[in-house]
Amino acid sequence: MFNQNQNKTMKKKFGEGLLSLVFTVAATSAAFSQGKPLKIGDLLPERLWDAPLEVVNHPQKNTTLAPDKDKLILIDFWATWCSSCLTNFPKMEELQHKLEGRIKVVPVTDQDRETVQKFFQSKNGQKYSSIKSVIADKKMRQLFPHNAIPYVIWIQDGRVINTTDGEQVTEQSVTEILEGKRSGLQTVIPMDRGRPFMLSENFDLEKEAAIESYSVVAHGRVRASPPGMVYRSKGETIVGRLFSNMLLLNIYRVIGIELFKKSGDHFSSKRIVNLLKDPDAISFNPENETEIANEKLYSFDFISPVSEVGTLYEDMLKELNKATPYVATIKTKTVKCLALQNISSGSSIAAKISTPVNKSVNSPDSGKKVTTTDLLRNLNSSNRVTPLPVIDQTGTEQYFDIDFTIFSDLNALNKALAKYNLSLMETECGLPMMVIEDKEQNINQVNPPTKLN
């Protein structure tokens, strides 16, 4: 038996041990939440190998990386909404089967169990239901932050040896690593799109310098950046835009929208005149292409001095014209168009209003109080009724009890408009157009269009 003093001593030691255990568990948890991102060449933390990872499509609810420590491990970040990730799954499974015992593919998503299981039970997801994936992840993302998926972490001998996109995972690239050959992989380190594109982080060390203006145009796919757009701003003022991995035609469209808006006009794809020798060089043609070629992609970051934001989009277009083999200009051209015209001098039953009704043609009750502006925007947004640009020559804003979305034929639409003494008539009109040409021709106008009468 223990005497009272011994009992006190044991209680003290037990309490200290329990407290130590609590601190150890807490420290491990904190280490994951506060751990620094790993870089190429870093060893995985020992605690990660045995950390429980929640999984789906697996006999157990949790698994660990430890059993595969001696293999080439590919951590494949994905999500249920990512079509490129899903396209990669069969390839990854085939590689793992072909190189069984030598590699381990570990799909990882931060989506919760309910979301992932619901996806795998869906019609589209059932074909991927054999995928054993880590879910509800926080640990991996903290160690390997990223802003685009699929994103693949290559781990060999417990060390991060590379980070790439999913496209580069092939039998050849994996075999090169396994056999110790020189790898042809291009490292992908996710860019922070909140900072100027491609600007060295060393600039952040400069305490007495600040970026006042910035411009860079990159041709070809930048694997470290997802496709899309980001506004650049200083305080409340928009001073630029970043376009990354986009077709040049789509960049032109965004600039066109802003330039036409500046003059009170509405831009659409029908206002683009593509005069290139190879019109598909800046666009995607689904009839001839199955995917967008990397050489068609452009990235463009432009930051203007605050004092020059009044001509921001004009300056952006000038910069693109300098840096690419093409020139885009805003020119007034005589083109075929459809004009909404009054066809009777009698009184119309359409009610005149001074301001547009804020209701989309595509809304559920679009048959009520649809405006002239709504009609034109709808007709100009697609070629469903006509490939020609559509303009208003009535001079007044009107509304109609007509559901314009049901029409795909011009004659039928005109019959519906006739009771309002209106008609869409084909004519020739002088319209501001964005004309895109090969650089053999001179550029002398990038100003926004003048407002139509």
DSSP labels for 307-355?
GGGGGHHHHHHHHHHHHSSEEEEEEEEEEEEEEEEE--SSPPSSEEESS
Q: Are residues 100 and 219 in the same domain?
A: no
Cis peptide bond N-terminal to 150, omega within 30? yes
How many whole angstroms separate alpha carbon 393 and alpha carbon 209? 54
Contact in structure between 78 and 94 (CB atoms under 8 Å): no
Determine the Cα angle at 184 with ends 178 and 185, to 5°: 85
Q: Are residues 146 and 65 part of one domain? A: yes
Distance CA 57, CA 74 (A): 18
- Judge contact between 166 and 178, C-beta under 8 A: no
| Final residue belonging to a domain, choices 178, 193, 215 | 178
Within this chain, do residues 52 and 131 fall inside the same structural domain, yes or no? yes
* Angle between helices 83-98 and 171-178 in degrees, nearest 10: 50
Q: Is the residue at 189 inside a domain?
A: no
pLDDT, tens digit only, all 453 positions of the chain: 334 444 444 444 444 444 444 443 343 344 444 568 999 999 999 999 999 999 999 999 999 999 999 999 999 999 999 999 999 999 999 999 999 999 999 999 999 999 999 999 999 999 999 999 999 999 999 999 998 999 999 999 999 999 999 999 999 999 999 999 999 999 999 888 888 988 888 888 899 999 999 999 999 999 999 999 999 999 999 999 999 999 999 999 999 999 999 999 999 999 999 999 999 999 998 888 888 999 999 999 999 999 999 999 999 999 999 999 999 999 999 999 999 999 865 544 444 433 333 333 333 344 457 889 999 999 999 999 999 999 999 988 888 888 877 888 899 999 999 989 999 999 999 999 999 999 975 545 555 555 543
pLDDT digits (tens, 9 = 90+) for 363-406: 334 445 788 999 999 999 999 999 999 999 998 888 888 887 78
Same structural domain, 322 and 213 = yes
Specify whether 322 is located in the same domain as 338.
Answer: no
Q: Are residues 239 and 307 in the same domain?
A: yes
Are 137 and 119 found together in one domain? yes
Q: Which helix (H) or strand (E) holds 90?
A: helix 83-98
| Residue-range definition of the domain harbouring residue 234 | 201-328+434-438
Query: Domain for residue 40, yes or no?
Result: no
Return the bridge partners of 46, or none.
Answer: none
- 3-state SS, residue 413: helix
Say yes or no: 215 and 104 in one domain: no
The domain that contains 117 carries what CATH number? 3.40.30.10
304 and 353 in a single domain? The answer is no
Instruction: Count how many domains the chain has.
Output: 4
CB within 8 Å of 340: residues ≥ 6 apart: 372, 375, 376, 390, 391, 392, 393, 394, 417, 422, 423, 424
- Domain annotation covers residue 453: no
186 within a domain of the structure (yes/no): no
Q: Are residues 52 and 163 in the same domain?
A: yes
Task: Record the pTM.
Answer: 0.76
| 232/81 Cα distance (integer angstroms) | 27
* 237-296 tens-digit pLDDT: 999 999 999 999 999 999 999 999 999 999 999 999 999 999 999 999 888 888 899 999
Within this chain, do residues 324 and 338 fall inside the same structural domain, yes or no?
no
User: Which helix (H) or strand (E) segment is 244 a member of?
Assistant: strand 237-247
Provide the residue type at 151 as one letter: Y
Residues 338 and 295 in one domain: no
What the block records as the tokens of 18 is 């329990």
